[in-house]
Amino acid sequence: MTYFTRPAAVGTITKNVKENAAGGKEKGADLLELRFDLLLNNTPGFEKYLKADFEESALTDQMKIWISEAKETGLPVIGTLRSKDEGGAFEGTEENRFEVIKEIIGDVDFIDIERRSSKKRIFECKKIAEKFNTKIIISSHYFDEKDMPSRKKIEKVLEKSFEKGADIAKVAVMPETKKDVLKLYEAGLRSKTPEKICLIAMGELGKQTRVLAPFYGSILSYGYIDEEAAPGQLSVGRIKKGFQLLGLS
């Protein structure tokens, strides 16, 4: 099953949800991603919820308010509560993180879960997601150039993501050379599931992938609305203009 008929630009929101959701739609975003860990970090008084001790109901209530504000635009919403180990800001336990994630799965259209999460936790989320027709993005991140995976490894990671229940498999890498970027493109070309994968190269070398990766099977491109949420992100507006120039939209 394909969820999009053409490449989609995701507007990542890290603060001021109502304002930036409206701005993202105005700039052409096809989806909105709520980076809950960064939203909490950027909202005075809510930083405490990133730690191990927090009141779950107060946290989920606030997240649901943000989801409601984003959905006022009429755009689909991706929910992401990224752990510190995966480049996010959430410092609580995995048990606490997944307690929160499971509470908001039914409120979002897509939920982002890291591939390194336990099979049990992913399975539990998948069962909840099926009840609400929420789709699961299983993501893998390689932030260090020294950890740049080979083309075969990228292909294997995509395969493993689908085995774990991904509706969309996402791989983000930090290239050291242009050849590293080509590994990402080659993996996309060889994928048996084009239009159900998301391929991103971060940093300066990877900026091109925000527009060009769709030529190689990637269906989502993440851009910023107000400020970068990852190194090398382009603004949603620039991504959409790139799609238009290349006939991808």
| Domain locations along the chain | 8-139+214-245
* Res 79 pLDDT > 60: yes
CB-based contacts of 228, cutoff 8 Å, min separation 6:
none
- Distance from C-alpha of 88 to C-alpha of 143, rounded to nearest angstrom: 12
State the sign of the Cα–Cα–Cα–Cα dihedral 7, 228, 111, 140. Answer: positive
Q: Which of 32-46, 165-179, 197-211 has the lowest mean pLDDT?
A: 32-46
Q: Which of these ranges, 46-50, 146-150, 155-159, 232-236, has the smallest mean pLDDT? A: 46-50
In the CATH hierarchy, which top-level class contains the domain 8-139+214-245?
A: alpha beta
Q: Of 37, 41, 33, 43, which Cα lies nearest the Cα of 13?
A: 33
What is the longest distance spanned by two Cα atoms in the chain? 49
Tokens read off for 151:
């083309």
Q: Which two tokens stand for residue 147?
A: 């950890």
Predicted local distance difference test score (pLDDT) of residue 52: 58
Check whether 1 has a pLDDT greater than 50. no
Is 34 annotated as ligand-binding? Answer: yes
**Section 178-192 average pLDDT:** 96
What average pLDDT does range 226-230 have in this prediction? Answer: 81
Tens of pLDDT, residue by residue over 12-26, are 999 999 999 999 999
Hey, which residues are catalytic here? 141, 170
pLDDT at residue 102 greater than cutoff 70: yes
Local confidence band at 4 (pLDDT 50, 70, 90 cut-offs): confident
Residue 33 is assigned to a ligand binding site: yes
82 annotated binding-site participant = yes
Question: What is the distance between the alpha carbons of residues 218 and 210, in angstroms, rounded to a whole number?
Answer: 10
Position 174 pLDDT exceeds 60? yes
User: Token match 């990542």: residue?
Assistant: 12
Cα–Cα dist 99/95, whole Å: 6
Cα separation, 48 vs 104, in Å, equals 19
Q: How far apart are CA 37 and CA 19, in angstroms?
A: 18
Q: What are phi and psi of 140, to 5 degrees?
A: -130, 135
